[in-house]
Amino acid sequence: MESRVLSRATNFASIPHLRKLTRESNTPCFVSTRTIGVVGQGGNLVWGRQLRPALLLESFQVMRKDVLKPCLAAAEGSDSAGGEKIAPVGFFDKYPAILTGFFFFMWYFLNVIFNILNKKIYNYFPYPYFVSVVHLGVGVVYCLVSWAVGLPKRAPIDSNLLKLLIPVAVCHALGHVSSNVSFAAVAVSFTHTIKALEPFFNAAASQFILGQSIPIGLWLSLAPVVLGVAMASLTELSFNWTGFISAMISNISFTYRSIYSKKAMTDMDSTNIYAYISIIALIVCIPPALIVEGPQLIKHGFNDAITKVGLVKFVSDLFWVGMFYHLYNQLATNTLERVAPLTHAVGNVLKRVFVIGFSIVVFGKYLFSSAN
């Protein structure tokens, strides 16, 4: 009888402590189950039958430890279920706009260097089809070496993704070759002026092909760009139809490239996507280069360039222009992964302002003359 009374007293005395623990614990905890009344592995005692106060107190202390341990672990940043620590949030994860701005800046910077070096090459080697192949060829070699060392690790490609990337690569090849044909035919400034229409083509493709609703305010904001390009075309001294049409084809091609690239980014990171695009685009560009410029290159193209600048400088210029072309396009693809296609196109317009401005500083009056 005394044992039964004491057990009930101990039981009721423990209830406030349990309630206090429940109120003070804000973190969900998992209490490990343990049968009350285990006597040195000797057997189980049933609740309400001769429960000894010492045994009940011992069980409560064990239970209290089991309650507190997960709570303390959770307070220290550990997962009570798996024991894994929560990774701290990085600076760029907390402020993604800063990383996006860095991509834009590097894209502009590398593009400026590419355009300056590309212009210098066309002054003594005006073969845009072959130069386009060199641009892509150097980039493909860079990608293969990067895959070989595992930076980045090559992502596997299947038939479904290949079907998505082939249109992107064809548009990339067509836009790249037509841009270089325009650079070789007219002034660099005029080509960049025509290519400033890319946001207009991007908005038109988004509206009429993708079915996206483009606000009327956006169309009105593009109207000054269209009028400005029209006025520049009418007053351009180096105007010719080859340069103008090639620049327009480049606009349309790069618009479709941006749209198709955004669709293909669902299954693969942008770095691997551009690597595969470069390989496919190189295969597309080689046959036209051989057909259009092959005989002229063999006859006098290479010899004239080597005579003017020397073999070492000629090869070095082609290598570095290809490297900067690949790097700036890689940064452009990484930027497209983080923004919408139309935002990317608007960024392309601002990029052309940087290119024209820095080119004026480097070339002066020669900037506005034909590359031929």
Residue 37 has pLDDT above 60, yes or no: no
**In a 3-state reduction of DSSP, which class is residue 95?**
coil
The partner residues of 170 in beta bridges, in order of sequence, read none
CA 74 to chain centre: 35
Q: Each residue of 147-161: b (16+ CB within 10 Å) or e?
A: eeeeeeeeeebeeeb
pLDDT band at 86 (very low <50, low <70, confident <90, very high): low
Q: Which two tokens stand for residue 151?
A: 């930076």
Q: What is the DSSP string of 270-282?
A: HHHHHHHHHHHHH
* Proportion of the chain above pLDDT 90, given as a percent: 26
Cα 174 to Cα 169: distance, rounded to the nearest angstrom: 8
Q: Minimum mean pLDDT among 54-58, 283-287, 363-367: which range?
A: 54-58
pLDDT in the model for residue 140: 96
Report pLDDT digits (tens) over 103-137. 888 888 898 889 889 988 998 999 999 999 999 99
CA-to-CA separations, 311 to 266, 305, 316, 317, in angstroms, rounded: 44, 8, 8, 10
CA-to-CA separations, 2 to 47, 50, 54, 252, in angstroms, rounded: 16, 10, 13, 95
Report pLDDT digits (tens) over 288-335. 999 999 999 999 999 999 999 999 999 999 999 999 999 998 888 788
Type of residue at 111 = N
- 3-state helix vs strand vs coil in the chain, percent to 5: 75, 0, 25
The residue with greater pLDDT, 49 or 230, is 230
Nearest to 251 by CA among 165, 312, 191: 191
Q: Minimum mean pLDDT among 47-56, 94-103, 325-334: which range?
A: 47-56
